């Protein structure tokens, strides 16, 4: 009887027409018909309105547009979800960056960068370049990279007279005695401010500027699956056996390409380089690391989907697609938390901070009161990792023989290069053979003086990073020390536990007051955390986000109670994931690799046959109801 009523109820619910409802992206309120028209008239719909299918179904898989993650706040988790701030902003007149304590200007960003961080090419003894490839994937997965392309593509004139009249321009001034440009005529580097809700017209411009991002905030491989329903469905899915669309090029599986993607693969060298991915997001045509990781996780989806389709002939395309995506995302997050960040930040530290656990079983820390968002400080502090970006991409053959190298800055916005001359194979082999840049207060000169090969004469990622922090209106560095450790810093000497005295001397030369120190400048010169390789302020801000992402995500892969949850047997399979296994599975020509691919091969991490690298056994997903 009850069962009958239940079925009746379910039928009634599912027959209710799902409707699309528009919400304001900044205020998270439902838009009235009038407001919808107003936005259309002002051409702000793209940024300021989020159209979501309601009602939320508590039993459905993670939605492609990130909506309905929190059942009470359906828009949060979708693209254009506002950031949260760990600490309240501080600013000067008209929301300009705050002045120094004595009322004067803050020291110039370029001067700070060249004083604290030296140019140099030094290989790291521990990390491979695969680690930085993965790092940029993590960054691009949770926040859009529009601010990186803005000053190159949309507003290339910030150093010209026109830039003075564009409120979005904030070019970096180069001092006359600059260590590099004293020998050139360059006194200005192009740069734009972060794009804000205020700037795009979602809210009044006399309120605190808040950055807007087109990426979904959670760790969900949105580089592969897209940030909007429309793109995901139209550009991603093949609608056959749960697959993503793909093409075969010389026997290699790649996302489909379109010659008509406007303005993205700008550095493709015609006539030979024509490839430009028609993936749901342009991100797969951006930085080399993102492109490579995107291709690998794209293929990994199709590998999983094909296996599921063979195992479970009674599953339809939808079920295979969403299950394969769930396994692919879980594989990525398992590697992110348990392999990559456990190495960079120290596994024991992360265990202490409750980010990882010794137990292999389920973990359920879901709290619907915590919103699925990103802190504004998180993507910002990730910029510290520019110090470990190696400037040259080396290519090797299968046997480990060196073939050639190319500056990584020449490969941004240049997807077409990958498929020529087996370059993709060479880079795949190189990813786990080549060291990353050393974490030693130096930055690769291509990263700090060029950044975008061919598109700009000069640019400095470090100076841009510093300047962007000021336009995010972050409070002083020492406020973050207080937030992270409870310690009150009153003068430079109080920093001695965190920063070596030679670096402290430099800080004191640069800044007139300890409260003037920029958050990134302080983080740059910190001593690494014990048991890890990253600075303590980086650790604190990243761990805050790792916990938020885990606790706020209703679809978190370790939960036993989420919709379509893994069984314990399946979760234990996911635990076997490793970046080396991913490369064995989907990296062309990879037959041998060291077990810990983010670390250089050596006596304790010897290269072995892929047969010796543990595998996720997908038979754990076999549906026995298919066979009767």
Ligand X SMILES: *[C@@H]1O[C@H](CO)[C@@H](O)[C@H](O)[C@H]1NC(C)=O
| 529 makes contact with ligand X (CB under 6 A) | no
Q: Which stretch binds ligand X (CB under 6 A): 128-136, 139-147, 152-160, 440-448?
A: 152-160
Nearest approach in angstroms of CB 20 to ligand X is: 20
Q: Which of 195, 304, 458, 577 binds ligand X (CB under 6 A)?
A: 458
Q: Is 53 helix (H, G, I), strand (E, B) or coil?
A: strand
Is residue 406 at the binding interface for ligand X, with CB under 6 A as the rule?
yes
Q: Which of 279, 410, 472, 570 binds ligand X (CB under 6 A)?
A: 410
3-state secondary structure 350-375: HHHCCCCCCCCCCCCCCCCCCCCCCE
Token representation of residue 396: 């090797």
473 versus 580: smaller Cβ distance to ligand X: 473
Looking at beta carbons only, is 456 or 615 nearer to ligand X? 456
Stretch that binds ligand X, among 53-61, 73-81, 96-104, 402-410 (CB under 6 A): 402-410
By CB under 6 A, tell whether 570 contacts ligand X: no
Q: How many residues bind ligand X (CB under 6 A)?
A: 18
* Site for ligand X contains 270 (CB under 6 A): no
Q: Does residue 368 interact with ligand X by CB under 6 A?
A: no
> Is the Cβ of residue 132 or residue 410 nearer to ligand X in the bound state?
410
Which residue from 454, 528, 575, 605 is in contact with ligand X, where contact means CB under 6 A?
Answer: 454
From the list 81-89, 452-460, 501-509, 543-551, the region that binds ligand X by CB under 6 A is 452-460
User: In terms of CB distance, is 215 or 335 closer to ligand X?
Assistant: 215
By the rule CB under 6 A, 457 interacts with ligand X: yes
Find out whether 449 and 458 touch, Cβ atoms under 8 Å.
Answer: yes
Task: Detail the DSSP E strand segments found in 246-356.
Answer: 247-249, 252-254
- Check residue 143 and give left, alpha or beta (phi > 0: left; psi -120 to 50: alpha): beta
DSSP state of 357: -
For residues 182 to 221, the per-residue mask of contacts with ligand X, x marking binding by CB under 6 A and - elsewhere, is: ----x--xx--------------x----------------
In three-state secondary structure terms, 211 is strand
Q: Which is nearer to ligand X, 244 or 393 (CB)?
A: 393
Integer Cα distance of 224 and 65 in angstroms: 12
Q: Using the rule CB under 6 A, give the single segment among 2-10, 257-265, 456-464, 591-599 that binds ligand X.
A: 456-464
Give the separation between CA 575 and CA 562, rounded to whole angstroms: 18
* Residue 451 Cβ vs ligand X, minimum distance, rounded to whole Å: 9
Q: State whether the Cα torsion 579-585-586-588 is positive or negative.
A: positive
Spell out the residues 6+ positions from residue 439 whose beta carbon is closer than 8 angstroms to its own: 124, 127, 387, 388, 528, 533, 534
Torsion of CA 151, 135, 301, 79, to 10 degrees: -50
Return the residues of window 11-50 that contact ligand X according to CB under 6 A. Answer: 43, 46
Q: How many CB atoms lie within 10 A of CB 157?
A: 16
Considering only 115, 119, 173, 456, the residue that binds ligand X (CB under 6 A) is 456
Alpha helices in 338-422 (DSSP H): 341-345, 347-352, 377-382
How many other β-carbons are positioned within 10 Å of the β-carbon of residue 591? 11
**Residue 226 phi, psi dihedral angles, 5° rounding:** 100, 165
Alpha helix positions (H), 117-220: 129-142, 146-149, 161-164, 197-200
CB of 43 to ligand X, least distance (A): 4
- Does 445 engage in binding with ligand X (CB under 6 A)? no
Q: Which of 92, 120, 407, 445 binds ligand X (CB under 6 A)?
A: 407
In the list 116, 159, 388, 540, the residue contacting ligand X (rule: CB under 6 A) is 159
Of 86 and 458, the one with the shorter C-beta distance to ligand X is: 458
156 near ligand X, judged by CB under 6 A:
yes
CA dist 309 and 311 (Å) reads 6
Contacts for 603 with CB less than 8 Å, ≥ 6 apart: none
- Contact flag: residue 92 with ligand X (CB under 6 A): no
Cα(130)–Cα(347) distance, rounded to whole angstroms?
A: 19
153 binds ligand X (CB under 6 A): no
Q: Does 149 bind ligand X (CB under 6 A)?
A: no
Structure tokens at 167: 């409120």
Binding site for ligand X (CB under 6 A): 43, 46, 156-157, 159, 167, 186, 189-190, 205, 406-407, 410, 453-454, 456-458
């Amino acid at each position: 009887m009850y069962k009958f009523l239940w079925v009746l109820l379910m039928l009634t619910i599912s027959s209710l027409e799902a409707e699309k409802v528009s919400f304001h992206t900044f205020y998270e309120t439902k838009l009235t018909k009038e407001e919808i028209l107003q936005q259309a008239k002002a051409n702000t719909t793209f940024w300021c309105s989020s159209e979501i299918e309601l009602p939320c179904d508590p039993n459905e898989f993670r939605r492609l547009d990130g909506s309905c993650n929190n059942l009470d706040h359906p828009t949060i988790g979708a693209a254009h979800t506002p950031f949260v701030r760990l600490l309240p902003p501080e600013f000067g007149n008209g929301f300009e960056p705050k002045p120094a304590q004595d009322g004067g200007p803050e020291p110039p960003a370029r001067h700070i960068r060249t004083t604290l961080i030296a140019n140099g090419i030094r290989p790291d003894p521990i990390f491979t370049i695969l680690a930085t490839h993965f790092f940029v994937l993590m960054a691009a997965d949770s926040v859009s990279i529009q601010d990186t392309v803005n000053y190159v593509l949309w507003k290339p004139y910030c150093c010209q007279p026109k830039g003075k009249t564009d409120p979005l321009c904030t070019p970096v001034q180069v001092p006359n005695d600059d260590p590099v440009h004293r020998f050139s005529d360059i006194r200005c580097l192009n740069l734009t401010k972060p794009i804000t809700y205020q700037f795009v017209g979602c809210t009044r411009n006399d309120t605190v500027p808040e950055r807007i991002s087109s990426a979904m905030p959670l760790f969900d491989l949105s580089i592969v699956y897209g940030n909007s329903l429309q793109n995901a469905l139209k550009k991603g899915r093949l609608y056959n056996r749960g697959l993503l669309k793909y093409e075969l090029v010389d026997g290699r599986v790649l996302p489909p390409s379109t010659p008509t993607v406007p303005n993205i693969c700008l550095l493709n060298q015609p006539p030979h380089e024509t490839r430009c991915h028609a993936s749901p997001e342009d991100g797969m045509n951006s930085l080399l690391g993102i492109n490579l990781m995107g291709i690998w996780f794209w293929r990994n989806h199709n590998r999983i989907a094909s296996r599921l389709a063979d195992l479970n002939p009674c599953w339809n395309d939808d079920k295979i697609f969403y299950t394969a995506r769930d396994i692919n995302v879980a594989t990525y997050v398992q590697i992110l938390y348990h392999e990559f960040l456990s190495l960079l930040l120290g596994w024991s530290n992360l265990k202490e901070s409750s980010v990882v656990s010794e137990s292999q079983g389920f973990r359920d820390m879901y709290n619907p009161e915590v919103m699925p968002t990103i802190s504004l400080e998180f993507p910002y502090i990730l910029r510290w990792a520019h110090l470990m970006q190696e400037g040259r991409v080396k290519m090797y053959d299968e046997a480990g023989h060196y073939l050639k190298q190319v500056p990584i800055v020449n490969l941004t916005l240049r997807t077409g290069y990958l498929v020529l001359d087996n370059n993709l194979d060479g880079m795949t082999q190189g990813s786990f053979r080549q060291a990353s840049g050393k974490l030693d207060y130096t930055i690769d000169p291509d990263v700090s003086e060029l950044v975008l090969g061919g598109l700009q004469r000069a640019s400095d990622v470090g100076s841009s990073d510093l300047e962007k922090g000021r336009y995010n209106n972050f409070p002083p560095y020492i406020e973050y020390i207080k937030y992270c450790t409870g310690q009150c810093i009153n003068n430079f000497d109080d920093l001695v536990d965190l920063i070596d005295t030679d670096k402290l001397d430099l800080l004191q030369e640069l800044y007139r007051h300890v409260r003037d120190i920029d958050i990134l400048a302080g983080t740059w010169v910190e001593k690494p955390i014990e048991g890890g390789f990253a600075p303590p302020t980086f650790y604190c801000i990243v761990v805050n986000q790792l916990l938020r992402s885990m606790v706020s995500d209703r679809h978190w892969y370790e939960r036993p109670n989420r919709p379509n949850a893994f069984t314990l047997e399946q979760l234990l399979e996911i635990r076997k994931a490793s970046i080396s296994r991913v490369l064995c599975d989907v990296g062309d020509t990879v037959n041998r690799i060291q077990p810990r691919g983010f670390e250089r091969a050596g006596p304790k991490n010897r290269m072995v046959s892929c047969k010796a690298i543990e595998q996720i056994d997908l038979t754990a997903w076999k549906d026995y109801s298919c066979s009767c």
